[in-house]
Homo-oligomer: A and B are copies of this chain.
């Protein structure tokens, strides 16, 4: 099978179609093409935009597949994820070639992401194999209790249903057709409908083909996975309004995320939308750090700002440095680096245009307090690295907003009160960071508390880019970092989005999932009568 994947992908001719219910489909007449962000040249083939009927068929088929049963056993799902990782590895060459052409990413950037995506697929296999993540709980019954007998209550996480996924522009592997969202949803036992991102439709189709070929070897009900292509918002809007959809995962702009959340909230039966909508990720430099670590901070900050062309959700879009001589010096170091930096190629025309517009409006507001790269933009979608500088007391609401690309707002501050006021005005952030030396953070406890309240991840003496997809990671935070602050879109806990607790009262073992059997056949950690244990239940309940 793996050889088949490799062979097919080496020679693969893109169809430009949707994959629905295991069939390639192109029912509509609306079409679009991808183009190179380097020179705007079209990248074949022509893609068919999914029609309303195709969206409906994909979601309905997924609902049918979900209803038909729990589908694969946990062990089968473990094997499936491992095979999927292998399939992706075997097809890496062709996937990277397509991805680099469509995104303009340098090969190491694209390859790093694909390797991480493969590793993460294996990590979820490991999570499933260990099995305790289902949070199994058993409260044993007591028929002799008065006035009413105590029932036997057992519960654990079960799949939510049909999960819609809307891929991101900036992570063609990790937040895409076979990224965290799809992998966790399938791992949990959900069925999935993905809308690929129109800036890299070929990469999306190839990933869908790898997934299809791998799924073919397992007993997935037909309809368990579909890929839809589409340039505008209509496919996503149709998906989120479909009565058989159970949840939607989205990573992208705040405007897009807000629109999807509102659509979902206005459904007859609202469903959760897990939207991750970005952040300015403020980095606060305290006075001693400014003095003692000036060069290291300047180097690290600009490296983080330019990583991936500034196109990370965790891009440090706000830097708070003190209004001191050392602060002036740090700003000068930062400025030198920005002036000498090379403009990256941004992902597509839309992002490049928004970035340029954002620079123009910010520069109009900040006038002379402006630093930008002195290199000319070469690529069609090139973006000029830039810094705007503003006094903490003069930060306007517009300046607080995220500008996707290699721009950061440098805020000069004089007091903790100013910092607290600014932090109070910021909406929810994916990350907040403090740079400090010695114990100077103690003096700044008030603003540090606010930074934690406002964000999902708090860093010290580091930079926010480079999200580790491990067990402890949280990539989310208060709105709009995430639409629901309880959930992460990266890391092992991201599977929690696509499950819900199912409770069983006085149900015989023949109808219970094995994780809730007395014998605990897979040895998972369970909470039995309030105690965490891997032990089996030896005794029958008190009776």
Contact = CB atoms under 8 A, between A and B. Distances in A.
Interface of A: 66-67, 69, 126-127, 130, 132, 137-139, 148, 150-151, 153-155, 158, 160-161, 246, 261-262, 265-266, 269-272, 427-428, 441, 448-450, 452-453, 456-462, 466, 468, 470-474, 476-480, 483-486, 488, 492-493, 496-497, 499-508, 511, 525, 527, 529-530, 532
Nearest to A532: B525
A420 to B, nearest CB: 9
Contacts of A527: 471-472
Contacts of A266: 262, 265
B511 A153 contact: no
B508 A460 contact: yes
A529 B456 CA distance: 20
Given A151-B459, A246-B478, A474-B502, 14 more contacts: A67-B449, A67-B450, A127-B530, A137-B493, A155-B474, A265-B266, A270-B483, A271-B479, A456-B500, A460-B505, A462-B506, A474-B503, A485-B500, A486-B499
A468 B150 contact: yes
Contacts of A452: 158, 502
A116 B29 CA distance: 63
Nearest to A477: B500
Nearest to A525: B532
Nearest to A474: B503
Nearest to A497: B486
Contacts of A66: 453
A67 B532 CA distance: 33
A155 B479 contact: no
A473 B139 contact: yes
Identical copies in the complex: 2
A126 B531 CA distance: 11
Nearest to A498: B486
A473 B527 CA distance: 12
A378 to B, nearest CB: 26
A498 to B, nearest CB: 10
A458 B503 contact: yes
A543 B496 CA distance: 32
21 contacts: A126-B530, A132-B532, A137-B471, A137-B472, A153-B472, A161-B453, A269-B427, A456-B500, A456-B502, A456-B503, A457-B503, A458-B507, A459-B506, A459-B507, A461-B506, A462-B506, A470-B530, A471-B529, A476-B500, A486-B496, A486-B500
Contact of A457 (B272, B441, B499, B505): B505
A485 B272 contact: yes
Most central of A127, A474, A483, A488 by chain B CB within 10 Å:
A474
Contacts of A506: 459-462
A153 B130 CA distance: 21
Q: Which of A150, A246, A458 has the most CB of B within 10 A?
A: A458
Contacts of A497: 486
Contact of A471 (B132, B139, B479): B139
Nearest to A112: B147
The 5 A-B pairs with the shortest beta carbon distances in the complex, nearest first, are: A265-B265, A137-B472, A474-B503, A139-B470, A457-B503
A525 to B, nearest CB: 5
B270 A472 contact: no
A425 to B, nearest CB: 11
Contact of A501 (B148, B265, B450, B488): B488
Contacts of A472: 137-139, 153-155, 503, 527
A242 to B, nearest CB: 14
A505 B459 contact: yes
Contacts of A505: 457-460, 462
A453 B190 CA distance: 12
